[in-house]
Structure 1
Amino acid sequence: MTLHPEIAKVLGGLPPSDGAPIDPVRARAAEQAQVPPPEERLPLHAVEDTTATTPSGEVPVRIYTPAEADSYGLLVYFHGGAFFSGSLDTHDGIARSLARETGHKVVSVGYSLAPEAAYPTALQECYGVVRWAADNGESLGWDGGNLAVAGDSSGGNFAAAVTAMARDDGFDRISHQVLLYPSVDLDFDTDRYASLRDNAEGYGLETRALKPHNAFYIDSGADPADPLVSPIKREDLSGLPPALILTAEYDPLRDEGELYGRRLREAGVEAEVRRYGGATHGFLALFSWIPEYHAAFAEVSRFLGRG
């Protein structure tokens, strides 16, 4: 399938990546400037900012209640941003759509960012919030059923790693993992995956930008050979929760996400992999106004058992 024409229009006005070092403060400010005002966001029954008490400290969370009900399934969401950017605000739209379409109460995690927070601070915070959600199920209105984790891009990395941490800890309450165009291999050798070469330039996220974008995380102590940093390197994937992995046709990270799905299935884990044709990395954050891409949220709902 060719690149979606609406995406092509947007990409046509963007300069190519030069692989230059990134100023994280400036990048975060630029993202924040694009956040729509509250009155323009998808309305829900309730949206509340609070904090989760975890072994790693107090972690900001935003709780999205889709509609008034006696109880809800829970979905803990980790935003993307190459570990150094993104926030509760920049990914508010994804969290709202997940809540609306799935009917689950969504807990979006405002984890600490690299380089200010060294590895494994953010990962431990994400895992801590999942445990906090389970421990505080009554106050959250949890129905005791689904406790899913989800994340996009680097947030998908955290979602995959958190399921592994839970598996190793004997914490068996995570019911599903939803990985949206995930970054599951931080070894960016272009010989590893064809998509790193085929989608190297012209599609928004470019292969040459992967190293500088992820350098803040890696330089803070995250070793790409560690399975908690590159979840695809975990030798034993058995016993992990069922997975839904959504990839984008024109994404340098496409092949690693799809290989991770195959490896999960080989380990006996239920894993669905769906490639969105004509799409680029970040399509749910940037292009979910296009109906065929917004449909991904309904696919998550079906996977969680509601649709």
Structure 2
Amino acid sequence: MSRYRLYPEVLFPVPYLDCLAAAKHFLSPAVLEKYLIDPDRVAVAGDSAGGNLAAAVAQAISVDESMAVKFSVQALIYPALQALDFNTPSYMQNQHMPILRRHTMVQFWLQYLGADLSLLPQLIVNNHSTSQHSGIPPELRSRIDWSALLPQKFKKNYKPIMVEKGSQEILKKVPGFLDVRAAPLLAGPEVLAKCPRAYILTCEFDVLRDDGLMYAQRLQDAGLSVTNEHYEEGFHGSFSFIFWPTDFAVGKKSVRAYINWLQKNL
């Protein structure tokens, strides 16, 4: 994505709005003509937090009837897509895995949404997404229900953690948890159906693995063409570890596959 403003200078939704503004500018007929860009071959892409923003921007552009040109491809590299369940199988399996531990990811969400970091212990045990919270109806919960969206090999023996009472005040204090601009996985099927075809890279040893896998499934359910490249030996950030002395075979392999996919699909 573009050089959007970052925490701590700004909080959500400013980074998202920066990226959306940049996307709209780039997709304008005047800019496309100036740089001789084929309007049928424009992609939006990002990794990790950038993957979050790329997915959110792709959704916004897709449903914006004022946009004559839209993205033809969205490429998401281990994206962060939801903040209601920090006990998915991948969050549990990889909670202590470098370079992105579960506590660190929860902290990042709190910082991005401008929330008090003292809430972290409650988020770790899903106290912010209590089953009795009226702001999370069953239909909305189904959009992040990993027990239904993940293949069995990823679910393993993990069980959903659904707190009955918890703290209903957290979502009132931090509404960003339920904002699709921050959590693209919460978008409705009518929005996903209008999105561009997708490339989603996921890694086995990554707390964000299940976010990407669930999004891939939901996009497919909405009728989209989705390529999900999953790396059994991959970890969060491995896509960037391709240069000596921190070069990994999985990093080089994933970059080659990504470029190959772009050449064939963009």
Conservation of the 8 A alpha-carbon contact between 2:241 and 2:251 = no
Q: Quote the residue 2:71 is aligned against.
A: 174
Q: 1:185 to 1:287 in 2, by over 3 A?
A: farther
Is residue 199 from structure 1 mapped to residue 94 from structure 2 by the alignment? yes
Q: Quote the residue 1:157 is aligned against.
A: 52
Moved >6 Å (runs of 4+): none
Report SS of the residue matched to 2:98.
coil
Q: 1:235 to 1:157 in 2, by over 3 A?
A: same
Is residue 118 from structure 1 mapped to residue 71 from structure 2 by the alignment? no
Report SS of the residue matched to 2:176.
coil
Q: 1:187 to 1:165 in 2, by over 3 A?
A: same
Q: 1:292 to 1:279 in 2, by over 3 A?
A: closer
Conservation of the 8 A alpha-carbon contact between 1:181 and 1:247 = yes
Shift of 1:161: 0.2
Once residues 23 and 6 of structure 2 are traced to their aligned partners in structure 1, the CA distance between those partners, rounded to angstroms, is: 18
Q: Quote the residue 1:146 is aligned against.
A: 41
More strand by share: 1
Conservation of the 8 A alpha-carbon contact between 1:185 and 1:233 = yes
Q: One-letter code of the match for 1:257?
A: G
Report SS of the residue matched to 1:169.
coil
TM-score (norm 2): 0.69
Conservation of the 8 A alpha-carbon contact between 1:156 and 1:180 = yes
Deviations 1:163-195 (A, max 9, x none): 1111221234201000000001122431xx101
Shift of 1:291: 3.9
More helix by share: 2
Once residues 119 and 197 of structure 1 are traced to their aligned partners in structure 2, the CA distance between those partners, rounded to angstroms, is: 26
Report SS of the residue matched to 1:142.
coil
Shift of 1:286: 3.1
Conservation of the 8 A alpha-carbon contact between 2:97 and 2:205 = no
Once residues 226 and 13 of structure 2 are traced to their aligned partners in structure 1, the CA distance between those partners, rounded to angstroms, is: 27
Once residues 204 and 140 of structure 1 are traced to their aligned partners in structure 2, the CA distance between those partners, rounded to angstroms, is: 38
- After superposition, residues 1-307 of structure 1 pair within 5 angstroms as 78=1, 109-135=2-28, 136-170=31-65, 171=67, 172-190=69-87, 193-219=88-114, 223-236=176-189, 237-287=192-242, 289-306=247-264
Once residues 92 and 186 of structure 2 are traced to their aligned partners in structure 1, the CA distance between those partners, rounded to angstroms, is: 21
Deviations 1:43-81 (A, max 9, x none): xxxxxxxxxxxxxxxxxxxxxxxxxxxxxxxxxxx2xxx
Once residues 91 and 41 of structure 2 are traced to their aligned partners in structure 1, the CA distance between those partners, rounded to angstroms, is: 35
Once residues 222 and 149 of structure 1 are traced to their aligned partners in structure 2, the CA distance between those partners, rounded to angstroms, is: 26
Count of residues paired in the alignment? 198
Shift of 1:278: 1.4
Report SS of the residue matched to 2:54.
helix
Conservation of the 8 A alpha-carbon contact between 2:74 and 2:198 = yes
Once residues 240 and 152 of structure 1 are traced to their aligned partners in structure 2, the CA distance between those partners, rounded to angstroms, is: 18
Conservation of the 8 A alpha-carbon contact between 1:157 and 1:230 = yes
Q: Percent identity?
A: 27
Q: Quote the residue 1:14 is aligned against.
A: none
Conservation of the 8 A alpha-carbon contact between 2:41 and 2:72 = yes
Shift of 1:145: 3.0
C-alpha RMSD of the superposition: 1.9
Q: 1:210 to 1:199 in 2, by over 3 A?
A: same
Once residues 224 and 280 of structure 1 are traced to their aligned partners in structure 2, the CA distance between those partners, rounded to angstroms, is: 25
Q: Quote the residue 2:135 is aligned against.
A: none
TM-score (norm 1): 0.60
Conservation of the 8 A alpha-carbon contact between 2:81 and 2:211 = yes
Gaps of 5+ in 2: 116-173
Conservation of the 8 A alpha-carbon contact between 1:119 and 1:222 = no
